[in-house]
């Protein structure tokens, strides 16, 4: 499963994008479960968000949803954190 996270906005206004493939990873089942939950919890359009808050786009195998701080589901939060930290 190909998972890509794009983070825009924030106080600095710097966009960050990172992606990873769950295939072959030891945590693949967990990541894929997170990704499915993150998609289900997301919105089809970018939410308004809050001033200086991060906004996120989560793309999983071609399907994209959006979410924004501070209103993330637990799955979105963990997935975003993992992909931005470990993805390339």
Partner 1 sequence: MMRSSVTERRGDAVSRITMRDGRCHALYAGNHSISVIATPRHDTTTGRCHIAPMDDSRTRNRPPAAAHAPRITSHHTHHHGVFCTIVPPHVLDRLARADDPALHEPARRTLERDALQRTRRRITTVRGIRATAADREATDQPQRTIYDAGNREELPGEKVRGEGDDPGQDASVNRAYAGLGATFDLYLKVYGRRSIDGGGLPLDATVHYGQDYGNAFWDGERMVFGDGDGEVFRDFTLPLDVIGHELTHGVTQYTANLEYFSQPGALNESVSDVFGALIKQHSLGQTADQADWLIGAELLTDRVTGEALRSMKAPGTAYDDDVLGKDPQPATMDDYVDTSDDNGGVHINSGIPNHAFYLAATDLGGYAWERAGQIWYDVLTGGELAADANFTDFARLTLAAAESRFGAGDEQRALQKAWSRVGVETA
Of 32 and 78, the one with the shorter C-beta distance to partner 1 is: 78
| 39 Cβ neighbours under 8 A, 6+ residues apart | 58, 60, 63, 65
Residue 73 is a binding residue for partner 1 (CB under 8 A): no
Place of tokens 């945590």: 27
Decide if residue 2 touches partner 1 (CB under 8 A).
no
Q: Is 48 in the site for partner 1 (CB under 8 A)?
A: yes
Q: Residue holding tokens 């994008």?
A: 17
Of the candidates 43, 64, 81, 86, which one interacts with partner 1 according to CB under 8 A?
81
Among 4, 54, 65, 67, binds partner 1 (CB under 8 A): 54
Tokens representing residue 31 in the block? 């990541």
């Amino acid at each position: 499963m190909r998972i890509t996270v794009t983070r825009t906005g924030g106080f600095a206004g710097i966009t960050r994008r990172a992606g990873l493939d769950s295939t072959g990873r030891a945590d693949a089942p967990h990541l894929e479960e997170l990704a499915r939950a993150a998609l289900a919890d997301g919105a089809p359009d970018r939410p308004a968000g809050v001033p200086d808050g991060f906004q996120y786009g989560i793309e999983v195998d071609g399907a994209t949803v959006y979410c924004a701080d501070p209103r993330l589901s637990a799955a979105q939060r963990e997935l975003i954190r993992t992909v931005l930290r470990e993805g390339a």
